[in-house]
Amino acid sequence: MVMLLFMGRDRKDELRQPKRAGASKKVKNVVCKFRNRIFVGDCIELMQTLPKGSVDMIFADPPYNLQLGGDLHRPNNSKVYGVDNSWDHFSGFASYDSFTRNWLSAARKILKTDGTLWVIGSYHNIYRVGTILQDLGFWILNDVIWRKSNPMPNFRGRRFTNAHETLLWCARSQESKYRFNYDAMKTLNDDLQMRSDWILPLCTGAERLKKNGKKAHPTQKPESLLYRVVLSSTEVGDVILDPFFGSGTTGAIAKQLGRDYIGIEREKNYVNLAEKRLEQTRRLSEEEFLRSPAKKDLPRIPFGRLLESGLLRPGQVLTDPGGRHAARVRADGTLAADGFRGSIHQVGAYVQNLPACNGWQFWHVEKKGEKVPIDLYRQQLRAEIH
Ligand X SMILES: C[S@@+](CC[C@H](N)C(=O)[O-])C[C@H]1O[C@@H](n2cnc3c(N)ncnc32)[C@H](O)[C@@H]1O
**Where along the sequence are the contacts to ligand X (CB under 6 A)?**
42-43, 61, 63, 87, 217, 219-221, 244, 246-247, 249, 264-267, 270
Nearer to ligand X, 88 or 238 (CB): 88
The distance of closest approach from Cβ of residue 139 to ligand X in the complex, given in angstroms and rounded to an integer, is 24
Nearer to ligand X, 203 or 301 (CB): 203
**How far is Cα 57 from Cα 27, in angstroms, rounded to an integer?**
16
Helix (H) or strand (E) holding 118: strand 111-121
Q: What stretches of 70-192 show up as alpha helix (H) in DSSP?
A: 93-110, 126-135, 182-188
Nearer to ligand X, 154 or 269 (CB): 269
The distance of closest approach from Cβ of residue 99 to ligand X in the complex, given in angstroms and rounded to an integer, is 7
**How far is Cα 257 from Cα 171, in angstroms, rounded to an integer?**
22
The distance of closest approach from Cβ of residue 8 to ligand X in the complex, given in angstroms and rounded to an integer, is 21
Nearer to ligand X, 274 or 301 (CB): 274
The distance of closest approach from Cβ of residue 103 to ligand X in the complex, given in angstroms and rounded to an integer, is 7
The distance of closest approach from Cβ of residue 275 to ligand X in the complex, given in angstroms and rounded to an integer, is 13
Nearer to ligand X, 254 or 344 (CB): 254
The distance of closest approach from Cβ of residue 35 to ligand X in the complex, given in angstroms and rounded to an integer, is 19
Nearer to ligand X, 166 or 220 (CB): 220
Contacts of 177 (CB under 8 A, 6+ apart): 114
**How far is Cα 74 from Cα 96, in angstroms, rounded to an integer?**
30
CB distance 244 to 263 below 8 Å: no
Q: Give the residue nearest to ligand X (CB).
A: 246
Nearer to ligand X, 115 or 243 (CB): 243
Nearer to ligand X, 28 or 268 (CB): 268
| 32-to-112, 134, 170, 328 alpha-carbon distances in Å | 15, 30, 25, 57
Q: What stretches of the chain show up as alpha helix (H) in DSSP?
A: 9-15, 23-32, 43-47, 93-110, 126-135, 182-188, 223-233, 249-256, 268-279, 304-308, 344-352, 359-362, 375-385
**How far is Cα 276 from Cα 269, in angstroms, rounded to an integer?**
11
Nearer to ligand X, 234 or 249 (CB): 249
The distance of closest approach from Cβ of residue 83 to ligand X in the complex, given in angstroms and rounded to an integer, is 8
| 80-to-88, 200, 222 alpha-carbon distances in Å | 17, 22, 20
The distance of closest approach from Cβ of residue 108 to ligand X in the complex, given in angstroms and rounded to an integer, is 16
Burial class from Cβ neighbours inside 10 Å (0-12, 13-18, 19+) for residue 144 reads buried
**How far is Cα 381 from Cα 311, in angstroms, rounded to an integer?**
10
Q: Which amino acid, 295?
A: K
The distance of closest approach from Cβ of residue 80 to ligand X in the complex, given in angstroms and rounded to an integer, is 17
- Of 272, 282, 258, nearest to 209 by C-alpha is 272
